[in-house]
Amino acid sequence: MTERETAAKRIKELRAAIDRAAKLYYVDDSPEISDYEYDMMFRELSLLEEKYPEYITEDSPTRRVGGKALSKFEKVTHTVRMGSLSDVFSFEETEDFLTKIADTLGYDTAFSVEPKIDGLSVSLEYRDGKLTVGSTRGDGIVGEDVTENLKTIKTIPLSLPDKLPLLEVRGEVFMPRKSFAKLNAECEEAGTKTFANPRNAAAGSLRQLDSKITAKRGLDIFVFNIQRIEGKTFASHTESLDYLVSQGFHVITDRKKLCGTKNILDRINELGSIRPKLPYDIDGVVIKADDLSERVEIGENTSTPKWAAAYKFPPEQAKTKVEDIVIQVGRTGVLTPKALLTPVRVAGSTVSAATLHNIDFITEKDIRIGDTVILQKAGDIIPEIVSVCKEERTGAEEPYKMPALCPSCGEAVHKDADEAATRCTNNTSCPAQIERSIEHFASRDAMNIEGMGPAVVKLLISSGLISKVSDIYSLRTEDVENLERMGKKSAENLIKAIENSKARGLDKLIFALGIRNVGEKAAKSLALHFEDIEKLFSATAEDITAIEDFGAVTAQDVVSFFSHPQTRVFVDELIRCGVITKYESEKKGDFLAGYTFVLTGTLPTLSRADASAMIESFGGKCSGSVSKKTSFVLAGEEAGSKLTKAQSLGIKIIDEEKFLLMIEEQKI
């Protein structure tokens, strides 16, 4: 046997051994070899493939580390629509769902009851036993090709024992809690923004153009359905899942086949009670008729099956203690009280603090230092105190009073009678306000200075390199490279990002200035209307209220900001640094003039900002709410109440594909 033939044989042996070890470790949770032995086999395979590249195949375990970065994701049209399920939010609604099925069939039937994984849905298509295409759900009809990223997930088999002509399965990609904690720790160490929850982290990781990044994120998957299959048939959902297990798929084991309403409701309660202890997040329980022939008899609604429903858990709550209440000073001088809590795990992450908004909120709920409180996450993201356990008070709890002086600068604070917020009166030299203003100025939606997150801003201030916003543009590589956790490359990237920010445009600059009550949309309107920041210095409240959607309060805030002498000094400093202060129109036409769009959900390839920019460049208008004046609702994955309202009003709903065709043809 020649050396090349020996290598080919060894490559085949190593692939089989590595695939078996990976399945035992990641899918079956019963490893037979050590991590070191696995790593050595993987290393040997990598070296052999490097020496003999002609033997590299797409289903080799080495393909899981990520390949060449993409410039964009291609679209994939789903042969079988990746629909959603009807949600039920109470046991009464669940009983009603089960009763309707019993009435349709004339008897009680068996249901597959499965935890609802809180992740994002994907399709995996296999031809002749090999993974060929992996795609996101998108809007259910058109998704994105993320095959290379999905290949990095070790629980997705790249080839199957049965070489069926076609097998398409659907699964839920998620980030285990352990991986999520590791990722956020790395983000904190790097001074970058952390992720709100594992689902957001999984979504962001799966849509990386560089699959090498995805490979490092520790994603996992549970496959839960067969979409299409050739060469095999099944009588029940349970039978089909058992088959998928035999093919090496990661299928959730904590599923049960149950009959009877009481048994199903008991199972929902059981899953709800163990939810915090699971290594992954679930947000409900899926109930599906198990017999596939019965599903046909039960039928489907227009957009959802009648034979399945998703019971959604109420927001997860936890009991904890208010250890202290501290004050954060925002960029506009608002003093926001924050509760420091005994760390507690809730809705997928450990929470140790929650905003208390203002003194009125504290007074209304009677929150005291030392209180035991009930905590939940609004939208499963933002921690909030729901109520106080007053029955557990001992008498040692301390009522809270807002400070009379700003904790950052020591100046007096003030609260208007008609406003809930308490503000620091030292707008020009309060250290906390300056720090928050710099953070806001550099943020993604403002001047988008990549690499200048809160941790880096704090570092630059504490080192004495900057003390106000305009100082950013005086930074040099040699100033930054010797700072802790920076280095030459990071410093060079930061200086380059700062230089690039000078040309972000007038609308981004106006938003970056941090004018009270002026968000991104209002900043864009001001830039379009005045076109030059100089005109804003002489604008009156009447000039500004003439702009659509501008009220008297916001107009006066703009006038007050630009009439302040410090603003004139600040803008002049930016101009001297080369920051562009005139609006450079990106208008490409006006065929959308007179049309109002509302965006909702996650689009397959476009961000909301990109879609909004395209609409506005052709003369259209974007609104945040649906009304009778809305022309189109551009809907993506997981569109919510806006989509429902649009349907009730009979407003035309389009997906990204129709929108892009509209733009391409410049035709409504």
Q: Closest Cα to residue 411, out of 420, 400, 422, 419?
A: 422
C-alpha closest to that of 156 among 135, 184, 177, 182: 135
Residue in the structure block whose two tokens are 């798929």: 249
Rounded to 5°, the CA angle 72-74-78 comes to 150
Spatial separation of the C-alpha atoms in residues 315 and 538, rounded to whole Å? 50
What separation, in Å, do the N-terminal and C-terminal C-alpha atoms of the chain show?
A: 68
Residue 55 burial (CB < 10 Å; 0-12/13-18/19+)? middle
The count of C-alpha atoms lying within 13 angstroms of the C-alpha of 396, restricted to the half-sphere facing its C-beta, is 7
Q: Do residues 194 and 182 lie in contact, with contact meaning Cβ atoms separated by under 8 Å?
A: no
Q: What angle do CA 35, 38, 41 make, to 5 degrees?
A: 150
Q: Please enumerate in sequence order all residues whose Cβ is within 8 A of that of 82, keeping only pairs 6 or more positions apart, or say none.
A: 121, 123, 137, 138, 140, 141, 143, 170, 227
Long-range contacts, stretch 187-190, CB < 8 angstroms, 24+ apart: 188/455, 189/485, 190/485
The residue annotated as part of the active site, out of 23, 51, 116, 508, is 116
Q: Which residues contact 434 (CB under 8 A, 6 or more apart)?
A: 461, 467, 468
What are the two backbone dihedrals, phi and then psi, of residue 10, each rounded to the nearest 5 degrees?
-65, -40
Q: Kindly report the number of other CB atoms within 10 A of residue 103's CB atom.
A: 9
Is 502 catalytic? The answer is: no
Phi, psi of 450 (to 5 degrees): -65, 135
- 8 A C-beta contact, residue 220 and residue 250: yes
DSSP, collapsed to helix, strand or coil, labels residue 387 as: strand
Query: How big, in percent rounded to 5, are the helix, strand and coil portions of the chain?
Result: 40, 25, 35
Q: Catalytic residue positions?
A: 116
